Structure 1
């Protein structure tokens, strides 16, 4: 009975995937015919089914770009980039989409030790740093045992040095893994979807306006309060924006 249920679930999964592929291909056909609005409907139908793939976001972004829909174009290119960080086509098309935005915000560069440390942390993902830490621990244990049980002086010296290096690598990698994880948690990007949004000093409509943002601008959401989000832009300026004016990139519907 259990085998039958597994086979039924497998067949159901295959059918669902085949249907999704059909819808995706229909969207691509419409896109190639220049029917971008209709293609978008097909792609969004897949999103409603919780389909999240690089190709889907990339094609959806391209369709919006063809229609000069600034915010959705930037938004879906950014989402595609989250799933495929080294894709040059995504990077290039994202730049084209960002060129349609109004806001020109200078990025505040990292300097000194802070920049060096952040570059080291961002070398690998938190999982990769954790794996490196585990490798260091294994090296420490193995060579410490070799140091303990071997009798040759030269072998003891080599085993001791390698075991110490393994321990240091493990500690360093573990610290960096925690730092990388903290950075990933704090990284909460969003795209402005309002045509123009007035950013306030405090989370209320009567507060002083500090600056304005326009559609397609990328921000960092620092915290939320009721119907407001505290944001930070590239030059480190902060303010409060209505929650409905921004859309989080890490949210997968």
Structure 2
């Protein structure tokens, strides 16, 4: 009986939380429509502070900051939206506009065929999505195999057998994609520079030699960290150390 009461209380709290979140989201949208972007972003951020995550929420926050001409936060939240939903076309479109406001023009190193394949295919969906496709393929394969086993006609058996083999290959490929995606995602530590301007050092100390300078809105990859410093890498291959306070991990 006590367990039932606990479960019921948890269910009611989740329902209440969902309703409160929807109410706040609607309130933020109202402020946004009236171009009161400061109040809108405050409402959206209050939702985030409650531990709620969604691509739409991050997209709306990014829009507010973009309208307020705040480069780093707008890019940061568009990137967060795309991290949850890599195929969010509106976030991709608005991110491109926000990036035009940043000062640094970082050229990307040429990518190999395998890198392009990984980016355009394997990372096109999240590893959770690939896993769902893999599980669906395994169920489909099992059903097709049963239909092959119990069917009577030769042609029918052959059709079920061939499609079961096809489902098996889809299963293998999607499991591989999910595994590769998971590995890349766990190693991936993108961050956005929030400081208006920051010196990148060749060592994690204030006395280190400056190797280059970055400005707000630039996206970097975190490689390592030591005390209050983070080792970063740019898309053009440059590496250096930056104070942790000058950037925010996505």
Partner residue, 2:101: 100
> 1:139/1:29 Cα in 2 relative to 1: closer, same or farther (>3 Å)?
closer
SS where residue 51 of structure 2 aligns? coil
SS where residue 232 of structure 2 aligns? strand
Give the drift of 1:216: 0.7
Partner residue, 1:109: 110
- Distance in structure 2 (CA, Å) of the matches to 1:228 and 1:203: 6
- Asked whether 1:56 is paired with 2:57, we answer yes
Partner residue, 1:222: 223
Partner residue, 2:245: 244
- Distance in structure 2 (CA, Å) of the matches to 1:162 and 1:32: 51
* RMSD (CA atoms): 3.5
Partner residue, 2:194: 193
* TM-score w.r.t. length of structure 2: 0.80
Partner deviation per Cα, 1:155-181 (whole Å, 9 max, x = no partner) = xx9999999988887766655544332
- Distance in structure 1 (CA, Å) of the matches to 2:217 and 2:198: 11
- Distance in structure 1 (CA, Å) of the matches to 2:94 and 2:123: 24
Residues 86 and 125 in structure 2, CA contact (< 8 A), matched pair in contact too:
no
- Distance in structure 1 (CA, Å) of the matches to 2:53 and 2:199: 32
> 1:124/1:42 Cα in 2 relative to 1: closer, same or farther (>3 Å)?
closer
Give the drift of 1:88: 1.6
Partner residue, 2:151: none
Consecutive unaligned residues of structure 2, counting only runs of 5 or more, are: 149-157
Range moving further from structure 2, 122-131 or 46-55? 122-131
Give the drift of 1:86: 1.3
- Distance in structure 1 (CA, Å) of the matches to 2:159 and 2:46: 61
> 1:132/1:40 Cα in 2 relative to 1: closer, same or farther (>3 Å)?
closer
- Asked whether 1:11 is paired with 2:8, we answer no
- Distance in structure 2 (CA, Å) of the matches to 1:85 and 1:119: 10
> 1:139/1:109 Cα in 2 relative to 1: closer, same or farther (>3 Å)?
same
Partner residue, 1:67: 68
Residues 231 and 242 in structure 2, CA contact (< 8 A), matched pair in contact too:
yes
Consecutive unaligned residues of structure 1, counting only runs of 5 or more, are: 147-156
Aligned residues between the structures: 248
Runs of 4+ in 1 over 6 A off after TM superposition: 131-134, 157-172
Partner residue, 2:24: 23
- Distance in structure 1 (CA, Å) of the matches to 2:175 and 2:16: 44
- Distance in structure 1 (CA, Å) of the matches to 2:168 and 2:162: 10
- Distance in structure 2 (CA, Å) of the matches to 1:165 and 1:56: 39
Residues 86 and 126 in structure 2, CA contact (< 8 A), matched pair in contact too:
no
SS where residue 40 of structure 2 aligns? helix
- Distance in structure 2 (CA, Å) of the matches to 1:33 and 1:61: 17
Partner residue, 1:46: 47
- Distance in structure 2 (CA, Å) of the matches to 1:54 and 1:114: 26
- Distance in structure 1 (CA, Å) of the matches to 2:209 and 2:22: 50
Give the drift of 1:91: 1.1
